[in-house]
A and B are shown apart, each in its own frame.
Chain A
Amino acid sequence: MPLKWYWVLNWQPNAGSTVNSQILNEVTQCVESINGVKEGRWKATLTFYKPMLRDQALSAEFPRDFLGISLPEQPNKYYFILRGHKIVLEADSSIQLIMEKLQSYKSRVALNFEGFQYQLGDFQLRVGKVVPNQSESLRGIVMEVEYLPISSIEKSRQIMEEFVDIWQDAVSKRSLPGHFMHLEPNFSDYGLADHYTSQHTAVQYTHVMAHLIASGQAVQAARN
């Protein structure tokens, strides 16, 4: 499959405001106002895993940032990430069954990133909400910007930044209480090269999640 360059943007609300479905609707309308053509739904799932320990007093010896991610563009794959160790792993979906059988780590909470995707020239956009699995409680808003022709991160950086400037300008005209942020992870820390892959996407989702937690938007969901 052709490889693409993603930016995952997450909505950063202004101080004193929170994300809500009205903001999500406004953002969606913004995409359509710049002639984005709606194509269908998308969904990614991020799962927090916790170690099963016989002695909770030793919990500090085990990672608390063990995440699993399923991506819509890779239905037969699953991604594990250990943020503290800067490890990203791509595996077959069956790795989830292996983890279930090992019973050493279990799913603590799962968050869905879901919404609609749009085509806009050489760009594919996905706008979505962040909600806990089996809940409609909105924890965040994310947007994926995918530039289809190029898979080199550095070669496509300028055009990506130009598009995002256009996008931010369009959003700003709606006077919404917040803005989109892009926090680019240091992919080389994870051993990832300039050629973009789904492992890069998994790392970006992890960083978005970390930012949501740090900004308090997903604290309740993640720390249950």
Chain B
Amino acid sequence: MECVVQGIIETQYVEALEILLQGLCGVHRERLRVHEICLKSGPNLGFVASEVRLLCDLEQSEPTWTVKHVGGAMRGAGAEQISVLVRSMVESKASKNVLRLFYALGYKLDHELLRVGFTFHFQRGAPITVTVSSINKMLKLHATDEAVPVTPGIQMVEVTAPATSENYNEVVAAVSSFCEYLAPLLHLSKPGVSTGVVPTAAAAAASLMSDGGGTTL
């Protein structure tokens, strides 16, 4: 299970966001370059269609693979009240022939993309990960060296934190609280809820860039 919020930011303000995150998190950023391969079950496989994501971390000297299943979001009146998405999520590290395995099992490539950017991992009421990345599409199958941005000039920001059915309220509170610090630069909301860029981003970014983040936004 995980808690998730997303938002977008213009590429010109990413450096300012990085300064802000550096100050808030107290850790160094980690570079991100992940090839995400989204597979769907073939037409006859399973009584319901299924999707699975294979993530190949290209930033390592030896690429490493993760299998990720993102399930349904928590439902009910309680879920609608909160501004953070709580959903089922299971991950597993896997050896390098995981793509061959799923193809052999009858899964087909639905789409693939390349995320390039950086992440911050830190503890603030919960173990939180902030990912800032451009989403790139490949012009040829699996050609990660020839990827182009899907939305030039715009990058995605995602804040996630692992949760359980016992502690998700605390994790939601931690994520919501943290997101308030980012409000001058970007608005974060549940995936699928479009919010656009915030009008204060330019001023906030200028402030951050002028004094390296010393100014309280």
Contact = CB atoms under 8 A, between A and B. Distances in A.
Nearest to A57: B44
A90 B44 contact: no
Interface majority SS (helix, strand, loop, mixed), chain A: mixed
Interface residues of B, number: 26
B101 A101 contact: no
B46 A91 contact: no
Contact of B105 (A66, A94, A191): A66
A89 B71 contact: no
Interface residues of A, number: 31
Interface in B91-119: 91-95, 97-98, 100-101, 104-107
B46 A89 contact: no
B77 interface: no
B107 to A, nearest CB: 8
Contacts of B94: 89-92, 95
Contacts of B105: 51, 62-63, 66, 82, 104-105
A104 B45 contact: yes
A98 interface: yes
Given A53-B45, A88-B97, A98-B69, 20 more contacts: A52-B46, A52-B47, A53-B44, A55-B44, A61-B106, A62-B105, A82-B105, A88-B95, A89-B98, A89-B101, A92-B92, A94-B90, A94-B91, A98-B67, A101-B50, A101-B69, A101-B88, A104-B106, A105-B105, A191-B97
10 contacts: A54-B46, A61-B44, A62-B45, A63-B104, A90-B94, A91-B95, A98-B92, A101-B71, A102-B50, A103-B46
Interface of A: 51-55, 58, 61-63, 66, 80, 82, 85, 87-95, 97-98, 101-105, 191, 199
